[in-house]
Amino acid sequence: MMTYKYVLNAVLNLQKFKAMSNENFYLDMNGTPIEAFDEVEVPEPNDSDLHNIDFTGMVDGFRNGNVLVVDGDCNIFEIEPERLEVLK
């Protein structure tokens, strides 16, 4: 019989695993994993973007399912991962 403590530990461990591994599952347009500090190509903007030209930037982090990309002027843009291309 499972105890309450055992179930609670299992749930907490699963939550920790999901939190730690979320950053590892962002994929670019080619299916390449996106990692912090990767150099990426950002495409021409669409209607919802704040940037006004395509550019090459560096991955600074991840938020709400998007990738935070820093441009050459140190501006940060939040871009959908499937629109990016990792340059390796």
Q: What digits encode the pLDDT tens for the residues 20-62?
A: 454 458 999 999 999 999 999 999 999 888 888 999 999 999 9
- What integer best gives the mean pLDDT of the chain? 83
CATH topology of domain 4-86: SH3 type barrels. (2.30.30)
The answer to whether the pTM exceeds 0.75 is no
- Split at pLDDT 50, 70, 90, the class of 8 is low
Q: How far apart are CA 55 and CA 48, in angstroms?
A: 16
Buried b (16+ CB within 10 A) or exposed e, 46-79: eeeeebeeebebebeebeeebbbbeeeeeeebeb
Domain ranges of the chain: 4-86
Q: How far apart are CA 36 and CA 32, in angstroms?
A: 13
Q: What is the mean pLDDT of residues 54-78?
A: 94
Q: What is the mean pLDDT of residues 4-8?
A: 59
